[in-house]
Amino acid sequence: MTNITINMAVEKYIIIVAGGKGTRMGGDIPKQFLPLAGSIVLMQTMERVATAEPQATLILALPHDQQGEWRRLCTEYNYTRPHSIVDGGETRFHTVSNALQLVPQNALVAIHDGVRPLVSIDVVRRAFDVALHENAAIPVMPVTESLRCIEGDSSTAVDRSRYRAVQTPQVFQSTLLKEAYATTYQSGFTDDASVYEYAGHKVTLIEGNRENIKITIPQDIMLAEMLLKQ
């Protein structure tokens, strides 16, 4: 494992992954471009993380064929938050790999879903703080629903206290994450932490926030509108 020494004044980067097609929304508009609280989902997300870490460099990973519409929306909503844009890839793994090309060694880098506009500022800051000392931090929440494991035609109840629901942003020491992403894509890579762990590294869990939902279905937009108004 690579030995890493992190300067307390380390550079910070935030990669916003926005590659959704919005198929479960039942429309043609990508879910990151859906209207939300006076702007759109993606702008709300970017403003939230930028407010938490105003010195961080923002990198937006977006499918190439959506970038023209994004620029049009920025003009329509007069959105001027500085950020770089990179092309999304075939999978999340390839998208993040593309974005990491803009991140230097020995920095801290957060990977955040573009459709999570309700992450708390506290969670973002704590994730960076913990990653500064532990090299990796991911927010999680306890599972509140009962769980069952499906095996063929039968199912078995499992102990939900042993499980956690994973959120973003996931924050890493950039040298270690870039090394992890140098591997070949595996179907088991469900998030950035799984890639990082595949390389032999350990992640530290921190408490997330219950409101940090991932916009996936129409009801999520309604809930997000209500929560943002509060």
> Does some domain include residue 81?
yes
> Does some domain include residue 29?
yes
Query: pLDDT tens digits for 158-168?
Result: 999 999 999 99
pLDDT for 5: 45
pLDDT for 229: 86
> Does some domain include residue 226?
no
Eight-class DSSP state of 48: H
Q: Is the peptide bond before 117 cis (omega within 30 degrees of 0)?
A: no
> Does some domain include residue 230?
no
Give the three-state DSSP class for 226: helix
User: Helix crossing, 121-134 with 41-52: angle to 10°?
Assistant: 50
State how beta strands 12-17 and 57-62 pair. parallel
Q: Give the pair of three-digit tokens for residue 90.
A: 């075939």
- Dihedral of alpha carbons 87, 90, 92, 98, sign: negative
Residue (of 110, 136, 139) closest to 207 by Cα position: 139
CATH number at residue 145: 3.90.550.10
> Does some domain include residue 228?
no
| Strand spans (E) along the chain | 12-17, 35-36, 39-40, 57-62, 84-87, 108-113, 136-142, 147-151, 154-158, 164-166, 170-173, 204-207
pLDDT for 26: 53
pLDDT for 9: 79
Residue numbers of the chain with a pLDDT score lower than 50: 1-7
Neighbours of 76 (CB within 10 A): 10
Distances (CA, A) of 11 to 25, 106, 128, 170: 37, 8, 11, 16
Counting the structural domains of the chain, the total is 1
> Does some domain include residue 2?
no
Query: pLDDT tens digits for 125-135?
Result: 999 999 999 99
Residue 131 belongs to domain spanning: 12-220
> Does some domain include residue 32?
yes
pTM for the full predicted model:
0.92
> Does some domain include residue 229?
no
pLDDT for 28: 80
